[in-house]
Amino acid sequence: MTNRTDPYGRTIDYMRVSIIDRCNLRCRYCIPEDIQWLPPKEILTLEEIAEICRQAAAIGIRKIKITGGEPLVRKGCLDLIHMIKSIPDIEQVTLTTNGTLLTPCAKRLSQEGLNAVNVSLDTLDREKYAKITGRDALADALAGIAEMEKYKIPLKINAVLQQGVNDGDWQTLIQLAKDRDISVRFIEMMPIGHGRQFASISNEDILEKIQEQYGPLEKVQKILGNGPAAYFHIPGFRGDVGFISAIHGKFCHACNRIRLTATGQLKPCLCYEDHISLKEAVRGGSPADVQRLLLAAIAQKPAGHCFTQNREKITEKKEMAQIGG
């Protein structure tokens, strides 16, 4: 079946799939220390997630991103990747992780044909890392990145800069792309959950500072991922620098995704609480029921978020880890 379009003519071929709300880190803008974890019975089984992905492929979804929380915390995550990679018409399966658990998983991820991995890493400073994440685990994250490089799987670093915390760390982070096949991407802070408490740093400002140091940058024209990142090449660098600018460079007109939470809630847009539950359909319904609800979610996609206009209209109150980061 051909790809599906939403009411605004956007092709929806990408689904982000959260498989767990738990994480081994406590990034201050994502998971508060006192968060209440979901009861295990509320979380979809791996087989249920795979079945939803199977029916998503039947209605035109071609790319799956596995997220959490921290997906590698979930027992059987690698088995799930195998299941999804085996679904006809699924062209890409990628993973977003904090990297701290990658080292023992890298070989298996390669064997399963994982198409790419994104590692969330906001600083290369050990003390700042511990302050941001609540854990002294920078060495583990860097070791995981190095291990993944051995298997030639496309690797991206996702960094969120915070004013007064790591706002100057772009200088060291982009060095990861200097002599390595790594893209370093800066993501503007989303006003979701605890992220509301932090001021967003404009990616335009970061790009301007990089160009002050390295001169005018050439925009990369080839497609380097499935999402909205704009990439630039720094002369003399092996990798590229990317920007995901949801706040200061709203890209809703090109949105190609829906989100599945670990509890089976299908979200048409990150900004709003609106969702359609697939749990009952996947546990007691038919494949046709799951497909119908997937199509209903696509039909309900709004024209865009309201992060930059009326923040009181943001109805999603959950933490990012509960939604799927």
The predicted pLDDT at position 322 comes to 57
- Measured CA to CA in angstroms, residue 81 lies from 129, 155, 189, 199 at distances of 29, 17, 28, 35
How confident is residue 251, by pLDDT bands cut at 50, 70 and 90?
low
Predicted confidence (pLDDT) at residue 317 exceeds the cutoff of 60 = no
| Of 44, 87, 43, nearest in space to 63 by CA | 87
Rounded Cα–Cα distance for residues 189 and 311 (Å): 14
pLDDT in tens, 109-140: 999 999 999 999 999 999 999 999 999 999 99
Predicted confidence (pLDDT) at residue 23 exceeds the cutoff of 50 = yes
How many separate domains does the chain show?
1
Average pLDDT of the residues in 86-108: 98
Which carries the bigger pLDDT value, residue 320 or residue 31?
A: 31
**Full domain range(s) for residue 165:** 4-323
Average pLDDT of the residues in 24-45: 86
Encoded tokens for 65: 């991103």
318 conformational bin, left if phi > 0, alpha if psi -120 to 50, beta if neither: beta
Predicted confidence (pLDDT) at residue 288 exceeds the cutoff of 70 = yes
CB atoms within 10 A of CB 312: 7
> Number of helices and strands (H, E) in the chain?
10, 14
Predicted confidence (pLDDT) at residue 195 exceeds the cutoff of 50 = no
How confident is residue 25, by pLDDT bands cut at 50, 70 and 90?
very high
Predicted confidence (pLDDT) at residue 192 exceeds the cutoff of 70 = no
- Measured CA to CA in angstroms, residue 274 lies from 105, 261, 295 at distances of 35, 12, 15
Query: Would you say 173 and 121 are in contact if contact means Cβ atoms under 8 Å apart?
Result: yes
Angle between helix 46-58 and helix 77-85 axes, rounded to 10 deg: 20
Encoded tokens for 186: 């800066």
Which carries the bigger pLDDT value, residue 225 or residue 61?
A: 61
Secondary structure (3-state) at 19: coil
User: Rounded to an integer, what is the distance from CA 120 to the centroid of its chain?
Assistant: 9
Mean pLDDT over each residue of the chain, to the nearest integer? 88
Rounded Cα–Cα distance for residues 144 and 97 (Å): 10
* Domain at 184, CATH number: 3.20.20.70
Query: Would you say 303 and 254 are in contact if contact means Cβ atoms under 8 Å apart?
Result: no
